[in-house]
Amino acid sequence: MAELGRTKRFAVLLCAEDSDYVKRKYGGYFGVFVGMLAEDGEIWDVFRVCNGHFPSDDEIGLYDGFVITGSCNDAHGNDAWICKLLILLKKLDSLNKKVLGICFGHQVLARALGGKVARATSGWDIGVRTINLSTSTKTFSNLKLPARLSLIECHRDEVQELPSKVEVLASSDKTRIEMFRFGDHLMGVQGHPEYTKDILLQLIDCLLKRNLIEEWIAIKGRASMEDNEPDREAWKQLCTSFLKGRL
């Protein structure tokens, strides 16, 4: 927690290169996350960890919380920067720093805690999906959220196992672990609360051009966006409340 009167400071651990579209419209993924999470009077910085830019031990102490972004890389992979990120996350855990993991960030955070991440048994999940919040947790009690929230998804990997010390907070008909929490300081969300529909549409086009998805997956993903609206304000409230210690 930040001391009273001290400016709160947060860092985005960027795990992906910015697409031309997101860079042009939002100032990059850092701009997208700041747009969702930042509040007046805070300082937000970015570390491009996918390019080897990590905070030093001295810099870690400056921050009240960290956000790990999505990525095109596999969270179960052993790229040098991913291995270094795992070491950093274990250090942040030991320091009780607030860490919010999104998509890849959710998966790599689970891996750092001893969980298992692998290719999703049911394949790609792209589009707007209904997320079922756990009724057995007290995590959301202050927020008065509905039992189900719509969320934009775009992933082909998933968290398959978590240690018993970690609490599963949400699931869907596609993914068993959509959200988890460890203590009061670590939380992962498989979907993309920061995404707008236009970002996902551009990403679908990009995945198609690179032959990473089949046409029917793209069609299904686009159709889900026509039929459903993501509950962006509710997810913003949930994520900011966690990161700022208001849950």
pLDDT tens digits, the chain, 247 residues: what are they?
Answer: 445 568 999 999 999 999 999 999 999 999 999 999 999 999 999 999 999 999 999 999 999 999 999 999 999 999 999 999 999 999 999 999 999 999 999 999 999 999 999 999 999 999 999 999 998 888 888 898 999 999 999 999 999 999 999 999 999 999 999 999 999 999 999 999 999 999 999 999 999 999 999 999 999 999 999 989 999 999 999 999 999 999 8
Nearest to 247 by CA among 177, 159, 145, 154: 145
Predicted confidence at residue 184, as pLDDT, reads 95
SS3 of residue 23 by DSSP: helix
Catalytic annotation present for 103: yes
Residue 91's alpha-carbon distances to 39, 57, 115, 179, in angstroms, are 26, 9, 16, 21
Nearest to 180 by CA among 242, 229, 96, 118: 242
- The tokens describing 244, both together, are 């700022």
Q: Whole-model pTM?
A: 0.96
Residue type present at position 197: K
Catalytic residue (one of 103, 153, 158, 239) = 103
Catalytic residue (one of 153, 154, 158, 192) = 192
Predicted confidence at residue 152, as pLDDT, reads 98
Catalytic annotation present for 154: no
Predicted confidence at residue 3, as pLDDT, reads 53
Nearest to 15 by CA among 64, 73, 55: 73
- The tokens describing 183, both together, are 């203590």
Catalytic residue (one of 153, 158, 178, 194) = 194
Catalytic annotation present for 192: yes
Predicted confidence at residue 1, as pLDDT, reads 47
Predicted confidence at residue 5, as pLDDT, reads 64
Question: What DSSP string describes 73-89?
Answer: S-TTS--HHHHHHHHHH
